[in-house]
Chains A and B, each alone.
Chain A
Amino acid sequence: MNVDTPILSVRGLRKSFGLTEIIRGVDIDLGKGERRALIGPNGAGKSTLFHLISGNLAPSAGTISFDGRPITGWTPQRINRAGLSRSFQITNIFPKLSVFENIRLAVMRARQSQYMFWRRIERVPGLREATDQLLERVRLQGQASTLAGEMSYSQQRSLELAMTLASDPKVILLDEPMAGMSTDETHYTMELIREVTSGRALLVVEHDMDVVFALADRISVLVYGEVIATGTPDEIRSHQGVREAYLGEEVA
């Protein structure tokens, strides 16, 4: 972990919807290869923060820099190409296309073949191999020809993870990857995330405290649009403000 030169740096970020200020001056530094969990009660602004960082929403004030470059106000596709990839709280895949095709679409972007119309897709060099490799990494090789929408929920989340990884990003944002999963599925997905994100910086929103404490190197606590604490799992556990604001209800 190299905290001195953060890969993602958020400074004084604010976002208002009308008169309501949802994000009220957030500072976050994500180190290279760091696994950071973002926790906080419902309505704290975690998803909004993700939308701001990934370019889905434009901030009202503040700056976001990625790998030393300011990316504030960039379009989602430009941010993705720079090396920041995200998943969504609600599964966001191509449900009527096959699993293989879903991943292939994601892989294709990294290979600059958006406007390739002179070659059959099967003939694009390396595309099939890269797609198969990703399928294997998230252990969906048996489902390659299944329609994505017909898989189980946790398999769809695995697929989404593969799509997020396809661009070989430096930073991955995962929005509640385990939401709605059984205990077994949660454990499985957590191990999968740990495995496939190694060497990349990860920012993950998650409600399951067992997952958060097991997965994250450090934790930031967002309450009413402000980061009230950042620290290692142990520090956060014993942090008085956090206990009062949030953990008190869930972890006795």
Chain B
Amino acid sequence: MRTPFILTGVALLAALPLLVSAGLLNASVQMLIAALFACAYSLLAGRAGMLSFGHAAYFGVGAFATVHAMNALGGSGLLPTPLLPLVGAVAGLAFGLVAGWFATQRSGTVFAMITLAIAELLHALAPQLKGWFGGESGVSSMRMPAWGFDFGSTTQVYYLALAWVLMALAALYFHSRTPLGRLTLALRENPHRLRFLGYDMHGLGVSAFALSAMFSGIAGALQVISNESANYAVFDAGVSAGVVLNCFIGGVGSFLGPALGAALMTFFGYSVSDQTQVWLLYQGMLFVLVMMYMPDGLTGLVSATASLVRRHGFARVLPLGLCGGAAAVLVAAAVVFGVEMLQRLFSQDYRALARLSAGPPPIALFGRSWTASALFTWLVPAGLLAAGGLLGWGAARRLRALSPASATDDEKHASSSESTPESTPVLGLSEQVRA
């Protein structure tokens, strides 16, 4: 049913090197890797309902195993460059089996804490073990030519990553259709009942954990192939947090949601990080907003809109969508303006400058200079916010008028009390106790 969409998407991805600049293509490689990592994580957090806070560990283990394999074998023999992600897969799987065996003894909060501890343990150990992780400077390597490709250009690396990511996503999707995959879903829905149907909960949990770690390892391997180096920073808690945020922003309820979220967030990170110093703040705000008002993530928004269109027709939903979209843009503009102004106002540079000059010096922002003490400067974000709020209020009213009883979160201004976070697995999935 969705085959045309998928084929179009794959064709677009395949044609991408012809369409974009080298810099953007490099970012695309990162987007692909992040998408695979998020989908791997979603197998555990979304489908199995086990929230891991330390998935950087499996990404990193895959990365370091690969960089060592690159150096040891020189890209020759049984493991030419295109097959290197297999090393990441095996390393991720092996480490995932061990870590998963311990972590899945418990569920809910305790499980999350164990995964966090394992990742932090690696992060603390890695700089000490110079032989394995190369200390502060990391381990670097070289991509070797193989199979008639020299892997010297970003384009070739892009196609290598694309091929692996597509294969891995196909495998992950296939998993969801197998008996093991269906059971993984049931594990999230009602682990207690599964025990009384004769299933081994621990075995199921370990399988989900290890498979998720395996695909994370592939993502780590691809990153090493792309960067030609690995540094212990891959074990950073920020990496673990990033994959959680990407996944939930995209929407763990759907298969491609996490990939979409990760690709978008990586793209934003790439395009915005030169413009602002507070990208992490925006990332955090976005996450909080999505979790509060669209617990099903971006894909939840898409499917809610699609169902509105189905029920009421495109013509009636369009003004609502425009209204809501404009509101979101206006509010976002207000927030960005406010945040950027404040960030500059409170920066050390500005305070130093202010002490040197007589009055508050003007702040350059968006190609204009603004006076911090002028009322007009602050009327801009206030005005944007008011306009956005008004539009949002209008959109919310329109939405209620369309479907008085429905609980869709079409726009982020729809009241949060209406939302039903159905497919969002939560931390404390019914914990089972056996005396």
Residues of A with Cβ closer than 8 Å to B?
54, 56-58, 75-77, 80-81, 85-86, 88, 92-97, 101, 104-106, 108-110, 113-122, 124, 163, 166-167
Contacts of B198 in A (CB 8 A): 77, 80-81, 109-110, 167
Assess the B180–A115 pair: CB atoms within 8 A: yes
Assess the B179–A124 pair: CB atoms within 8 A: yes
A77 and B182 contact, Cβ closer than 8 Å, known pairs A57-B435, A114-B204: no
Name the 9 nearest CB pairs between A and B, nearest first. Answer: A80-B198, A116-B179, A117-B180, A113-B179, A109-B198, A94-B189, A76-B195, A81-B198, A120-B177
Complex-state Cα separation, A85 to B196, whole angstroms? 7
Assess the A116–B178 pair: CB atoms within 8 A: yes
Contacts of B207 in A (CB 8 A): 115
Complex-state Cα separation, A93 to B198, whole angstroms? 14
Assess the B195–A117 pair: CB atoms within 8 A: no
A97 and B185 contact, Cβ closer than 8 Å, known pairs A115-B203, A120-B174: yes
Partner of A166, one of B180, B192, B197, B204: B197
Partner of B182, one of A54, A101, A110, A166: A101
Contacts of A116 in B (CB 8 A): 178-180
Contacts of B435 in A (CB 8 A): 57-58
Partner of B183, one of A57, A96, A114, A118: A114
Interface positions of B from 416 to 435, Cβ below 8 Å from A: 422-423, 434-435
A92 and B192 contact, Cβ closer than 8 Å, known pairs A114-B199, A121-B178: yes
15 residue pairs A–B, Cβ–Cβ below 8 Å: A75-B195, A85-B196, A92-B190, A92-B192, A94-B186, A94-B190, A95-B190, A97-B189, A105-B183, A108-B179, A119-B178, A120-B177, A121-B181, A124-B179, A167-B198
Contacts of B183 in A (CB 8 A): 105, 108, 114
Q: Which residue of A lies closest to B174 (CB)?
A: A120
Complex-state Cα separation, A115 to B179, whole angstroms? 7
Interface size on B, residues (CB 8 A): 30
A95 and B434 contact, Cβ closer than 8 Å, known pairs A54-B196, A105-B183: no
Residues of B with Cβ closer than 8 Å to A?
174-175, 177-183, 185-186, 189-190, 192-201, 203-204, 207, 422-423, 434-435
Q: Shortest distance in angstroms between A23's beta carbon and chain B's nearest beta carbon?
A: 13
Q: Shortest distance in angstroms between A203's beta carbon and chain B's nearest beta carbon?
A: 15
Assess the A114–B200 pair: CB atoms within 8 A: yes
Q: Shortest distance in angstroms between A97's beta carbon and chain B's nearest beta carbon?
A: 6
In terms of DSSP, what is the predominant structure of the interface of chain A?
Answer: loop
Contacts of B197 in A (CB 8 A): 77, 80, 105-106, 109, 163, 166-167
Q: Which residue of A lies closest to B171 (CB)?
A: A117
Contacts of B181 in A (CB 8 A): 117, 121
Contacts of A115 in B (CB 8 A): 180, 203, 207
Q: Shortest distance in angstroms between B191's beta carbon and chain A's nearest beta carbon?
A: 10
Assess the B177–A121 pair: CB atoms within 8 A: yes
Complex-state Cα separation, A76 to B191, whole angstroms? 12
Q: Shortest distance in angstroms between B95's beta carbon and chain A's nearest beta carbon?
A: 19
Q: Which residue of B lies closest to A124 (CB)?
A: B179
Most chain B Cβ neighbours within 10 Å, of A76, A92, A116: A76
Complex-state Cα separation, A94 to B193, whole angstroms? 8
Assess the A114–B203 pair: CB atoms within 8 A: yes
Assess the A117–B175 pair: CB atoms within 8 A: yes
Assess the A96–B193 pair: CB atoms within 8 A: no
Contacts of B192 in A (CB 8 A): 92
Contacts of B195 in A (CB 8 A): 75-77, 80
Q: Which residue of A lies closest to B200 (CB)?
A: A77
Q: Shortest distance in angstroms between B192's beta carbon and chain A's nearest beta carbon?
A: 7
Assess the B189–A95 pair: CB atoms within 8 A: yes
Q: Shortest distance in angstroms between B97's beta carbon and chain A's nearest beta carbon?
A: 13
Complex-state Cα separation, A122 to B181, whole angstroms? 12
Contacts of B199 in A (CB 8 A): 77, 109, 114
Partner of A105, one of B182, B423, B434: B182
Contacts of A120 in B (CB 8 A): 174, 177-178
Complex-state Cα separation, A92 to B196, whole angstroms? 10
Complex-state Cα separation, A115 to B184, whole angstroms? 10
Contacts of B423 in A (CB 8 A): 96
Complex-state Cα separation, A117 to B183, whole angstroms? 11
Q: Shortest distance in angstroms between A145's beta carbon and chain B's nearest beta carbon?
A: 15
Q: Shortest distance in angstroms between B144's beta carbon and chain A's nearest beta carbon?
A: 33
Complex-state Cα separation, A167 to B199, whole angstroms? 11
Assess the A104–B182 pair: CB atoms within 8 A: yes
Assess the B178–A96 pair: CB atoms within 8 A: no
Q: Which residue of A lies closest to B432 (CB)?
A: A56
Q: Shortest distance in angstroms between A138's beta carbon and chain B's nearest beta carbon?
A: 16
Assess the B178–A118 pair: CB atoms within 8 A: yes
A92 and B178 contact, Cβ closer than 8 Å, known pairs A114-B183, A114-B200, A114-B203: no
Q: Which residue of A lies closest to B207 (CB)?
A: A115
Complex-state Cα separation, A88 to B434, whole angstroms? 16
Complex-state Cα separation, A97 to B175, whole angstroms? 17
Complex-state Cα separation, A106 to B195, whole angstroms? 10
